[in-house]
Structure 1
Amino acid sequence: MKALSKGYNIVGLSQGNLIGRGVVEFCDGGPPVKNFISLGGPHAGTASVPLCGSGIFCILADDLIKSEIYSDYVQAHLAPSGYLKFPNDIPHYLEKCRFLPKLNNEIPEKRNTTYKERFSSLHNLVLIMSENDKVLIPKETSWFGYYPDGAFKPIVPVRQTKLYTEDWIGLKALDEAGRVHFVNVSGGHLGISKSDLKRIIVPFLVDEASVKSIVMPGCLDFHAQSHKITIGNK
């Protein structure tokens, strides 16, 4: 990828943030990622099936999916199952969930220092949380905050989580170096005004003219054009 050889930025939207982090942590020999801007990312997981609703069908579907969420079939066929984390079923989550436990280096006997080294090499990590986000449960997952193991309350702030204090992925190192930016905006999931976009996001994309940007909003399709890659929803 010669066009990205000098490095590039990632802008992640919702679950696209986890794909972007996977690129940073898992890919060998790729060009460096400079700035990672995350809008509404379920970084610590989510405790509810996303994008359904509160109707009776959604309630029934939610209950059905929850009962089988860590089965091999659901893990292989439902993308959000890879980052659903029910605090009252942590042992099952760590054993059967195929994606997030690896991404967050949560499994003690399988922790990979390379993931930590790669993630902590970012120049800037911008974590944007929407104040009225009703899709991510809890919304603080956008900042790596989450529920304690075994309970749905209280919400544990990011700097009190084990992921941070034991620095499983290098988040603490980044933060102590002044390279993590926690941003709170008004609005719902992925809601951000043009003025906030220009004020918060654009400065991290224009600092270096030679650095390209990659937008990761969805999860399925890759389209490459003029050195910009968009992952879109179907």
Structure 2
Amino acid sequence: MGKSFRQSVLLFTVTAFLFSFFPVSISIPFILFHGIGDKCSGGVNNFTQRLSNLSGSPGFCLEIGNGEADSWLMPLRQQASVACEKVKQMKELSQGYNIVAQSQGNLVARGLIEFCDNAPPVINYVSLGGPHAGIAVVPKCASGPICVIAEALMKLEIYNDFIQDHIAPSGYVKIPGEISKYLEHSKYLPKLNNERPDERNSTFKDRFTNLHNLVLVMFQNDTTLIPKETAWFGYYTDEGFDTLLSTQQTKLYKEDWIGLKALDVAGKVKFVSFSGDHLIVAYEEVVKYIVPYLMQTSLSIL
């Protein structure tokens, strides 16, 4: 028994020693954020499971609050804060993770990346139809009483404090020709995009620049995001709707407020165009443009 015990101890010691010098590869998990008016159950859960099956990586749809209602009524800064705390509590993500986000969920994802202190690192980030540079028109609402109330309130005065504090998409409505009001009263996107000259935060930029890959998917026939180019950080000029700037023409890119240019120059940004309407993704597009960024493995077993 004594000899057998000593052999077991020796084997364990040698194995631990080898692992410390030759770590094995494990799949990096991913989390998914759904869009406005949606929830993790149903179709979103099916999509998460499909991505997990195709990539071989564990995936989790991260629900904020009660899902559908809170996606409309919880301000985005609070949604990002909830996501931050949830991620830090998930042991599966402690060594790093990937993100896939749909529509408004991208602004929660980016808030998590930029604002969350002491969080595990985000490796790859796949953005599906994200309103990254804002939207110039109040988003369409599907149906239901919450939808009707939220849409009506936003049409009253988008930059009113009450609206900003209670209607999530008001935090990224950016009306061309009203940029001074937007910068003064909008409570989310100007901070997220480091747009206020006297409030730019280098930490937000550093965290965003640490991404290994950023995949920006724009839907060519998008009728939800106005303009659709916001999915690539393109947007109208401050003066009005007459001129639409490409990503590289915007001040956000040229002056590199959040590190998008740095990522692009390093070859880490993929500008991808899907042919369908908002969030209509074909199986072939999933396999070609999304799954590869969820298949990366880490080089640590710890």
Q: TM-score, normalised by structure 1?
A: 0.84
- The Cα shift of 1:154 comes to 1.6
In structure 1, distance between residues paired with 2:299 and 2:165: 38
CA RMSD of aligned residues (A): 1.8
| Alpha-carbon distance between aligned partners in 2 of 1:66 and 1:157, rounded to the nearest angstrom | 28
Count of matched residue pairs: 205
Within 5 Å, which residues of 2 pair with 1:54-203?
A: 65-203=154-292
Counterpart pick for 2:296 among 202, 207, 210: 207
- 1:87 partner SS: coil
The alpha-carbon deviation at position 63 of structure 1 amounts to 8.3
**In 2, Cα distance between equivalents of 1:89 and 1:68:** 12
Cα distance in 2 between the residues matched to 1:148 and 1:73: 27
SS, match of residue 106 in structure 2: helix
Quote the offset at 1:28 in angstroms. 0.6
Structure 1 runs of 4+ aligned residues shifted over 2 Å read 61-67
Counterpart of 2:250 in structure 1: which amino acid? Answer: T
Q: Within 1, Cα distance between the matches of 2:299 and 2:276?
A: 33
Unpaired stretches in structure 1, ≥5 consecutive residues:
212-234
Asked which structure has the greater CA Rg, the reply is 2
Rounded to whole Å, the distance in 2 between the matches of 1:82 and 1:210 is 39
Equivalent pairs: percent with the same residue? 59
Deviations 1:118-153 (CA, angstroms, capped at 9, x unpaired): 000000000000000000000000000000001102
What is the CA–CA distance in structure 1 between the aligned matches of 2:243 and 2:286, rounded to whole Å?
Answer: 31
Higher RCO (C-alpha 8 Å, min separation 6): 1
Q: Which amino acid aligns with 2:266?
A: A
CA distance in 2, matches of 1:210, 1:92: 48
- Greater helix fraction, Structure 1 or Structure 2: 2
Instruction: Give the Cα separation in 2 of the matches to 1:89 and 1:51.
Output: 21
Name the aligned partner's letter for residue 125 of structure 1. L
Contact persistence 2:153–2:163 (CA under 8 A): no
Alignment pair present for 1:35 and 2:117: no
State the TM-score, normalized to the length of structure 2: 0.65
Structure 2's unaligned 5+ residue stretches are 1-89
Q: Shift in Å at residue 52 of structure 1?
A: 3.4
